[in-house]
Structure 1
């Protein structure tokens, strides 16, 4: 037998597959010059799109007709939201807006009367005297409009924060109650993040934007109404004067929106180099490789592209503005010429011509505001659509509620033929699991990673609902009661507990659903039993110490100390079932021993079921029942002595016995090595 054959055989004589020598790959020489990173036709196109740019520039890419078509539905949605938040303030803002527009229109008509008096026949003093009542009326109308606009501003100031609070509270309430399997879905998490970051922001802006749009539109309608009263021919003249200005405003707005999209893309690319130059993690290698100059040059290259984009937008806006002013000037000139001809021909009094001049002039500026507001509301409404779709999905994913609750105590939990499949998985995480748990007992779930033991614990806790089979609490099927009433009866201590940025006391009491109230004796008993009493005693303010560096005087805990606090949190909850899912993984040996002594060997609560999930089989030997999971099945069950004596059909030790023996051998080998040292 050759040496190679000897190497390729395992200890039991089976031939092993070992990798052969590496084959040489023909690789051509790299180019002498190349881009530092991929570049598309427009710099930034090669970057993966980010969610905050999803709708950037969308208003500039759609037709004005589509924007106008969607505005009524958008307006109804925003008004409905505002009405639900504060009906009184919403009605007040709408009424005051309409009244303000009427005051503006009446003011224009009153101005015509002033001009009529001033241009009438007679002495100057008499004309001024006759104009004084109309002047007083104009002043009164302007003052009234000012007060009405003040009322609109006050109403908006009261309404906008309420809308913001109502929407944000609904968003958080729905999201924090969705079923756990939805939260486990990465796509759902991305959707929630997008809705929170963009949808909520633009929903908060919707009310003031709609108010601004309505104010501008009512101003236009008021001016058109005045012109219709003065002479019907003036309405076409209004269109003649404002259409070029409106077209220029649309072109300018769309150029701004599209440029903003390109600018954002360029900024994303340049921030990559800014981050490399400033980031703490990359700083040592940047300096060791003297890469500063190369990164700065690449940064400058993109900065020049941004500079060109800004200049290009400025030139485009200047060109559009020049075109708009030129054509608009010609249109306004033609409008005023027609006004002059109508006045000279006697079709319209001179005073009416002056009023028409004022109405047309004010309309041109108002139209620009209408165009910008329309584009903004349309684009932001797309984000609001995303938010509302997400909220509808959250409503469909709420935990099941039947109005029936579990009692506060349980004697027996019966699990019968339970299956569970994760929504995104292709196979069952649990298949045909059955067990019985009784009050006063300690139960262990053991097995390899992915065997189903943590999934079973979450099913018991009401976080998941079985795909098939049943779980009964004293004969009551879990599907027949509110899911949250199950969750309230189960205290879960997880391997990676949440480090709540709250006081030490609140970190204990939050397990019972409160962060401001405590049962002092129960809290002290819980931290003493878990070993967290020494942790809290060593804090500067003890129970009141914030466990976060975000606060002045806040403290950070080690992983092991956080685990002790988490166990105390579970014990404080005083629930019918206590689930410990690898709670001592980050503890030292003494702390781990103390916790297990308290939970497994301490005073047994006759009304509590304790479930322990652990990879360290030495910690579960004292449990009343041990369930061994493999591939979603329970392959063995019994106490430690029963499982250690179990043999397979071939006379080999059972799975639990094999795992326990392997772990024990590893500890003995490590101890022997230390003794020899």
Structure 2
């Protein structure tokens, strides 16, 4: 542009006819540079889009892998949720922003060096002044980054509560309760109040940051146009040409812009790294249920059985012992029932057996070997468990059952057999697409909505599909009618032949067929024996059974 302006100016002031051909060549070269710039920008957008998608997907995979690695203990710690919330919110775009920032700083640095060389050839003092003019704006950005990080950390609990209220208002799990109890406006009001508090904190910081940014950039603007006045005066006095004036002023503008961009990129890298601290903290979490350094092969088959020896346990961050000096045995081929009041510790025993937690006292052994000497994957592979809070998966019916053992092929014969054992086979066959029907309407409008009892049968089918040595049913028929319950237990006894089975149930009529019953009260085994043994003892089990039987006789 300098050369074009100088050629034009020379031609305009010349008495003879100038050579316009040279100007056309320069214009053509300028056009080629502009075209190459467009091509580079288009290619850059494509590369940036691909790079962002790859990096974001990879980081999400890392988050998912860590999420399933951490133990249940972390899910009972509010600090874990806050760390995970920040990590989940920032991880998808912060790593991409860091990569983009690195490329941007490199690009800015290259251009900056070129502009600096040009300005230094003109006047090194002007170049130095312009460099200092950018520093206030960069310092403001640095301060804002730190304040923004502290503010985000402080509002995270409020954001989590707001997200929870949002899920209450929009999730199908709460839809009936919210309408029946008239809770909608209450939750909307609380959500609105939280979002207003968050918005005020964000706007307050943004207002202060904008005011400081305006002041710093106004200083830089005054310096730039002061430099422009100096350059114009040089051109007016004939010391430099008009083309020089345009070139140097363009260099000043671009130099300031790219210096600001370069330093801003460094500040952005600092800010992004601050926010990634939560991701680092999340990824640094160590499982509390440790894997053995020299694992022992899991016994196949189990010969002597499972033994709880003086087991004591309390949940994290609590002082109350949920289990106290638990001693019980489960022999191969036995069906064992755990009964007792709510909160007595029955389900906790199952969690310990599955190594979702480790006991603080005593040991749990299989064939005389402490559970902690087995790989957790090997242990859990030999356990089929249907817990009280079983999951409903919005997949096809056949996939729902196959999830019971994804290491096995998706064989329809075995899937149907498991469905027959749980009593859900007939219901699935009557669906529009049979076993290919989506369960639930979250993703498919023609999906099938199941009743609570039918969902429970699907969960039971998953347990029956899993070919394991230990079967655990925690309140397995709580949502089934009496006839369906009887059918399930009749089939269950056939499937449990030669295996170890544990049943937890409040319906004592369903545990009478157990080979051994353990009555648990306040974390201790207070009674044990067959149903008839416990009835003959006429203690709490017998009294509870008589109370339930009386209701059936009335």
Residue in 2 that maps onto 1:659: 544
1:400–1:482 Cα contact (<8 Å) kept: yes
Q: Per the alignment, do residues 483 and 238 of structure 1 end up closer, same or farther by CA in structure 2, a change over 3 Å counting?
A: same
Alignment of 1:379-398 (within 5 A): 379-393=271-285, 395-397=286-288
**Are 1:625 and 2:510 an aligned pair?**
no
Q: What is the CA-CA distance between 1:622 and the residue it aligns to?
A: 0.9
CA distance in 2: counterparts of 1:318 and 1:476, whole angstroms? 68
Residue in 1 that maps onto 2:72: 180
**Are 1:614 and 2:505 an aligned pair?**
yes
1:414–1:436 Cα contact (<8 Å) kept: yes
CA distances 1:513-567 after superposition (whole Å, capped 9, x unpaired): 369x422222222111111112212211110111111212101111111111111
Q: What is the CA-CA distance between 1:384 and the residue it aligns to?
A: 2.0
1:507–1:565 Cα contact (<8 Å) kept: yes
Residue in 2 that maps onto 1:426: 319
CA distance in 2: counterparts of 1:215 and 1:447, whole angstroms? 70
1:241–1:360 Cα contact (<8 Å) kept: no
Q: What is the CA-CA distance between 1:364 and the residue it aligns to?
A: 4.4
**Are 1:410 and 2:302 an aligned pair?**
yes
Q: Per the alignment, do residues 631 and 568 of structure 1 end up closer, same or farther by CA in structure 2, a change over 3 Å counting?
A: same
Q: What is the CA-CA distance between 1:499 and the residue it aligns to?
A: 1.0
Residue in 2 that maps onto 1:645: 536
**Are 1:226 and 2:118 an aligned pair?**
yes
**Are 1:155 and 2:47 an aligned pair?**
yes
CA distance in 1: counterparts of 2:8 and 2:472, whole angstroms? 90
Q: Per the alignment, do residues 577 and 382 of structure 1 end up closer, same or farther by CA in structure 2, a change over 3 Å counting?
A: same
Q: Per the alignment, do residues 135 and 282 of structure 1 end up closer, same or farther by CA in structure 2, a change over 3 Å counting?
A: same
Q: Per the alignment, do residues 220 and 192 of structure 1 end up closer, same or farther by CA in structure 2, a change over 3 Å counting?
A: same
SS in 2 for 1:626: strand
Q: What is the CA-CA distance between 1:330 and the residue it aligns to?
A: 4.3
Q: What is the CA-CA distance between 1:335 and the residue it aligns to?
A: 1.0
2:383–2:470 Cα contact (<8 Å) kept: yes
Answer with 1 or 2: which has the greater Rg.
1
Could you tell me the TM-score, scaled by structure 1's length? 0.66
CA distance in 1: counterparts of 2:410 and 2:363, whole angstroms? 36
Q: Per the alignment, do residues 358 and 248 of structure 1 end up closer, same or farther by CA in structure 2, a change over 3 Å counting?
A: farther
Residue 477 of structure 2 is aligned with which of 576, 584, 587?
Answer: 584
Q: Per the alignment, do residues 238 and 351 of structure 1 end up closer, same or farther by CA in structure 2, a change over 3 Å counting?
A: farther
Residue in 1 that maps onto 2:451: 558
Alignment of 1:50-129 (within 5 A): none
CA distances 1:1-44 after superposition (whole Å, capped 9, x unpaired): xxxxxxxxxxxxxxxxxxxxxxxxxxxxxxxxxxxxxxxxxxxx
Q: Per the alignment, do residues 428 and 127 of structure 1 end up closer, same or farther by CA in structure 2, a change over 3 Å counting?
A: farther
Alignment of 1:414-563 (within 5 A): 414-513=307-406, 517-550=409-442, 551-563=444-456
Q: What is the CA-CA distance between 1:496 and the residue it aligns to?
A: 3.0
Q: Per the alignment, do residues 252 and 414 of structure 1 end up closer, same or farther by CA in structure 2, a change over 3 Å counting?
A: closer
SS in 2 for 1:495: coil
SS in 1 for 2:338: strand
Q: Per the alignment, do residues 537 and 582 of structure 1 end up closer, same or farther by CA in structure 2, a change over 3 Å counting?
A: same
Could you tell me the TM-score, scaled by structure 2's length? 0.79
CA distance in 2: counterparts of 1:239 and 1:201, whole angstroms? 31
1:174–1:398 Cα contact (<8 Å) kept: no
Q: Per the alignment, do residues 187 and 315 of structure 1 end up closer, same or farther by CA in structure 2, a change over 3 Å counting?
A: closer
CA distances 1:366-416 after superposition (whole Å, capped 9, x unpaired): 5665677667655554332212211211x4457525455424532222222
CA distance in 2: counterparts of 1:243 and 1:431, whole angstroms? 65
Identify unmatched segments of 5+ residues in structure 2: none
CA distance in 2: counterparts of 1:156 and 1:582, whole angstroms? 53
Of 316-325 and 520-529, the range deviating more from structure 2: 316-325
